[in-house]
Structure 1
Amino acid sequence: MAILNCIIGVAFIFLVAFLFSNNKKKINWRTVIIGFIIQFAFAFAALKWSVGKYVLSKIALGVQSVIDYAKEGISFLFGSLANDGSIFAVNVLGVIIFISAVVSVLYYLGIMQFVIKLIGGGLAKLLGTSKLETISSSANIFLGQTEAPLLIKPYVEKLTESELFTVMVGGLASVSGSILVGYSLLGIPIEYLVSASFMSAPAGLIISKIIIPEIKEAKVNEEIEMVKDDSANVVDAASKGAIDGLGLVLNIAAILLAFVALIALVNGVIGMVGGWFGITNLSLQSILGYIFAPVAVIIGVPMKEAVVAGSLIGQKIILNEFVAFTSLSEIMSTLSAKTIAVVTFSLCGFANISSIAILIGGIGGMAPSRKHDIARLGWKAVLGGTLANLLSATIAGLLLTI
């Protein structure tokens, strides 16, 4: 039954992508099939293979060690407040600042570029995709939707429409490393988050190549020189990373404060209107739950938990993934292990409506002449990123069941 459910889920996701394709005859099915095999292999290695599970457990321990180091800085700054795990702004957002500094140092030392080029080069050869789009998609395993394209900044103006769309979808199908650690501090299993990040690279590539297949020859085929960090030294790099992390934290805090309050306001209005018609317990979450419940069932969530899972998926798309993960953390104890896994994979991406503006401002800032293209492709990119997340969730649900 689990295998049949997975087949139906994968078929549904590919069908939706195919229906929204702008050139169905030009789809390179070799790229799609090989990409899906790679994505499945990533999932199998992480979730079923003993060696892969061992490596993943070590990564999880490494992440926990990094979090512990971050807490030294948090304790120094906030004192006894750091010992109260319930203070979100201190214990979760504070760690994100430290992780951002660490990533910046790795970037300055060239370690990040080396790993990204290694993964991106391998995927490009296997999938037959261009180096530019594949490097950017691979960078999204570690970096955010606007940070990853910085590696190919000199070439963004020259990207074909298909390459540009792939860069956009790659960013929306994944989350940055610093944000990922923030989710883990909410209690979300780090093993699932890391697996989802690696699966997002091939997932984003194959979905984007179905929706907008390549019809032109890449304008840049020579060896790609990734942009290097211009920091004066390691200390300067760490400082810049910390400052960037602070900006990220302030954005997250502002968005969470506003959205949580707005949800309460909307729920108050919806509840009042529902009361006029004798409908009790009506809320934005319940409405989203019923709308997206069929999607949850298709990707492998048990029927009895479909409305709850659908609500979380809906919150991620309509609001953002941090709001959805926060909601998930509050109800995890009531959900089955499979539902937690499937929902975690489906939420692990920046694909939401507000991200369109971020893409326009971020990538559009690197290539002003492409802002119109980015805005035009924005809605399809959100769809592509969402489908990539759902594809990873479907595969994970199968492997964790059999």
Structure 2
Amino acid sequence: MYFLLNVLGVLVVLGLIYLCSPNKRNVKWKSILTLLIVELLMTWFMLSTKIGTWVINQIASFFTWLITCANEGISFVFPSVMANEQVDFFFSALMPIIFIVTFFDILTYFGILTWLIDKVGWLISKVSGLPKLESFFSIQMMFLGNTEALAVLRYQLATLREQRLLTFGIMSMSSISGSIIGAYLSMVPATYVFAAIPLNCLNALLIANMLNPVDVSKEEDIVYVPAKHERKDFFSTISNSMLVGIRMVIVITAMVIGYVALTASINGILGFIVEGLSVQKIFSVVFSPFAYLLGLSGKDAMYVAQLMGIKLATNEFVAMLDLKDKISGLAPHTVAVAVTFLTSFANFSTVGMIYGTFNSILSEEKSHIIGRNFWKLLVSGMAVSLLSAMVVGLFIW
């Protein structure tokens, strides 16, 4: 029964997105069906085969090694803190970002990450039949993050039509950053984090194609490649990366502190009005129908619905911190769908980040396309997260 609910959930999400589409006639159903088939095969390979499990374990080991290297640097500066049996979230999850950002930028400097993104993006374009630039971007933002990926494509974005620009805004809601993965792994199982990353990539394309279908000519379908003169020297690159990393740590720290405190204050006000009422309880009711469509029941459905609300209102870090404390008492299917759903940047503050990025790299006039379509970005972010979680849920019981 719960498996059938999970299957129904996929159909319901696609149906709701189709109803929200302002241009239903141009939806490319062949591309959508192709992407869904690829997702199912890929998820089966990752979660149900020995080779797929081995691949995920190797990737997880690689990121664990990166975190270990990062901890060496942290231990040098904060030896007494890192010697504790239980290390605070700031040091265990956020400080490693400084090194991981630098590591990924080194891969980009030597063209390794750029080559990987380009080839995989080309492959997705061939399989799905969707434009190369959008396919390229879907891969790029999963490693670089939405604002960084938009910045890399800034010269090409400046030449695009407004409707096509909206596609990039919609897709940006479903990103993560390679530098953040280490923080996720300190809180939730690696298997579902690494399963969510490629699924979010494909679902971002799928949902964008439904919410904002755009016809792209061959002349328009090109990928921007930075010129050699745009690159800084190696030392400047890694030094700048470290500064970018510490800024990310500060921003994330501020967001976690601020949103947790804000949620607590709102809960205090709500509790004063109605005893026991909280933001979590309100969202658990609003999102409960989708939680049941994830193949969950009873307590687990209400708890995952609560996590959905926490992620949307605050961010995935706050929700993961809550899940981390309760994960040992949850069923495997519940853990799988919850972690997969949380592995993306889809929340209110992300819309603001995307708007600010458009404003800074393009123009105030072009950034209005984001402001006017605020609801599309939020809907797309939640739909991608739900769809990825539902696909993973089909294979874990």
Where on the TM-score scale, by shorter chain, does this alignment land: which range?
A: over 0.9
Of all paired residues, the percent bearing the same amino acid is: 30
Output the CA distance in 2 between the equivalents of 1:156 and 1:233. Answer: 26
Name the counterpart of 2:53. Answer: 53
Q: CA deviation at 1:230?
A: 4.4
Tell me if the contact between 1:35 and 1:202 (Cα under 8 Å) persists in the aligned partners.
yes
Tell me if the contact between 2:157 and 2:165 (Cα under 8 Å) persists in the aligned partners.
yes
Q: CA deviation at 1:141?
A: 2.0
Bigger drift between 346-355 and 361-370 goes to 361-370
Output the CA distance in 2 between the equivalents of 1:227 and 1:339. Answer: 47
- Secondary structure at the aligned position of 1:158 is classed as coil
Q: CA deviation at 1:294?
A: 1.3
Q: Are positions 1:7 and 2:7 aligned together?
A: yes
Q: Are positions 1:385 and 2:381 aligned together?
A: yes
Tell me if the contact between 2:291 and 2:305 (Cα under 8 Å) persists in the aligned partners.
yes
Name the counterpart of 1:80. Answer: 80
Which runs of structure 2 are paired with 1:123-272 in the superposition (5 Å)?
Answer: 123-186=124-187, 188-215=188-215, 217=217, 220-222=220-222, 224-226=224-226, 230-272=230-272
Tell me if the contact between 1:175 and 1:348 (Cα under 8 Å) persists in the aligned partners.
yes
| Cα distance change, pair 218–208 in 1 and its aligned pair in 2 (3 A) | farther
Q: CA deviation at 1:309?
A: 0.6
Name the counterpart of 1:114. Answer: 115
- Secondary structure at the aligned position of 2:147 is classed as coil
Output the CA distance in 2 between the equivalents of 1:349 and 1:117. Answer: 22
Output the CA distance in 2 between the equivalents of 1:308 and 1:180. Answer: 24
CA deviation profile, 1:182-216 (whole Å, cap 9, x unmatched):
11112x01121111111111110011101111145
Tell me if the contact between 2:260 and 2:314 (Cα under 8 Å) persists in the aligned partners.
no
Structure-1-length-normalised TM-score: 0.93
Tell me if the contact between 2:156 and 2:224 (Cα under 8 Å) persists in the aligned partners.
no
> Match for 2:194: what amino acid?
V
C-alpha RMSD over aligned residues:
1.8
| Cα distance change, pair 321–229 in 1 and its aligned pair in 2 (3 A) | farther
> Match for 1:249: what amino acid?
V
Tell me if the contact between 2:6 and 2:394 (Cα under 8 Å) persists in the aligned partners.
yes
Name the counterpart of 1:278. Answer: none
- Secondary structure at the aligned position of 2:197 is classed as helix
- Secondary structure at the aligned position of 2:78 is classed as helix
| Cα distance change, pair 179–222 in 1 and its aligned pair in 2 (3 A) | closer
Tell me if the contact between 1:170 and 1:200 (Cα under 8 Å) persists in the aligned partners.
no
Q: CA deviation at 1:29?
A: 0.4
Output the CA distance in 2 between the equivalents of 1:228 and 1:143. Answer: 20
Tell me if the contact between 2:199 and 2:388 (Cα under 8 Å) persists in the aligned partners.
yes
CA deviation profile, 1:199-236 (whole Å, cap 9, x unmatched):
11111001110111114536523464246694543332
Tell me if the contact between 2:170 and 2:208 (Cα under 8 Å) persists in the aligned partners.
yes
Name the counterpart of 2:70. Answer: 70
> Match for 2:284: what amino acid?
G
Name the counterpart of 2:335. Answer: 340
Output the CA distance in 2 between the equivalents of 1:73 and 1:365. Answer: 33
Tell me if the contact between 2:21 and 2:210 (Cα under 8 Å) persists in the aligned partners.
yes
Which of residues 244, 267, 287 in structure 1 aligns to 2:282? Answer: 287
Output the CA distance in 2 between the equivalents of 1:356 and 1:255. Answer: 14
Structure 1: any 5+ residue segments left out of the alignment?
Answer: 276-280
Bigger drift between 334-343 and 307-316 goes to 334-343
Output the CA distance in 2 between the equivalents of 1:160 and 1:6. Answer: 38
Output the CA distance in 2 between the equivalents of 1:313 and 1:367. Answer: 32
Output the CA distance in 2 between the equivalents of 1:105 and 1:355. Answer: 26
Q: CA deviation at 1:245?
A: 1.0
Tell me if the contact between 2:141 and 2:176 (Cα under 8 Å) persists in the aligned partners.
yes
Bigger drift between 368-377 and 162-171 goes to 162-171
Bigger drift between 297-306 and 308-317 goes to 297-306
In the comparison of the two structures, how many residue pairs are matched?
A: 395
| Cα distance change, pair 86–229 in 1 and its aligned pair in 2 (3 A) | farther
Name the counterpart of 1:98. Answer: 99
> Match for 2:294: what amino acid?
I
| Cα distance change, pair 35–227 in 1 and its aligned pair in 2 (3 A) | farther
Output the CA distance in 2 between the equivalents of 1:159 and 1:334. Answer: 49
Tell me if the contact between 1:9 and 1:298 (Cα under 8 Å) persists in the aligned partners.
yes
| Cα distance change, pair 14–228 in 1 and its aligned pair in 2 (3 A) | farther
Output the CA distance in 1 between the equivalents of 2:278 and 2:222. Answer: 54
Which of residues 291, 306, 312 in structure 2 aligns to 1:311? Answer: 306
Output the CA distance in 2 between the equivalents of 1:311 and 1:228. Answer: 48
Structure-2-length-normalised TM-score: 0.94
Q: CA deviation at 1:151?
A: 3.0
Output the CA distance in 2 between the equivalents of 1:150 and 1:51. Answer: 36
Name the counterpart of 2:372. Answer: 376
Runs of 4+ in 1 over 4 A off after TM superposition: 226-231
| Cα distance change, pair 94–199 in 1 and its aligned pair in 2 (3 A) | same
CA deviation profile, 1:1-49 (whole Å, cap 9, x unmatched):
3441232111111011101101111111011111111222221121112
